Amino acid sequence: MARDFERMVRGTRGIFLPAWVVGLIGFVLLSAAGLTIVREPVYGLQVVTSPDGAFTARVQRRRYVKDYFRIQIRDGHFWQTVWSSPTVTADLSEDLGDRLRWSEDLGGFEFTVGGKVLWSQPLLRRP
């Protein structure tokens, strides 16, 4: 029985990979893991558009080392960050009442948490 097993295994040599290929695969896997760790998770994305459709804003609740809100306004094809809040200490399971809305009297966006306005920005009309 032992001779039969030796005869079966003797003919196979396995797959030959150069050391640089193994190193490249390891580098790619470690880089992908590192980039996944660096990217912070986003919770509670809300997007609001102005009535005329000229402006679009979004609020994100981000959580990595600290919890905070970030508001971005669309500028052409890109999103521009216009405000980042100080650290928020509330649990994610608790609804803070964070809402982004278009304010007609202000002519821009305002962000409220718990009924209190934390950020507002009037916007100029585009021609």
> What are residue 3's phi and psi, to 5 degrees?
-65, -35
Q: Which parts of 1-127 are beta strand (E)?
A: 42-49, 56-63, 67-75, 78-84, 99-103, 108-113, 116-122
pLDDT given at position 95: 66
Q: What is the pLDDT of residues 74-105, one digit of tens each?
A: 878 899 999 988 888 766 666 667 688 888 78
Residue 127: pLDDT above 50? no
Q: What is the pLDDT of residues 11-60, one digit of tens each?
A: 666 677 889 999 999 999 999 998 888 777 887 778 998 888 888 999 98
Say if residue 34 is in the same domain as residue 46. no
Say if residue 62 is in the same domain as residue 110. yes
Say if residue 47 is in the same domain as residue 27. no
Confidence (pTM): 0.64
Say if residue 17 is in the same domain as residue 49. no
Number of domains into which the chain is organized: 2
> Looking at the domain assignment, is residue 126 inside a domain?
no
116 is in which domain, residue-wise? 42-120
Say if residue 68 is in the same domain as residue 95. yes
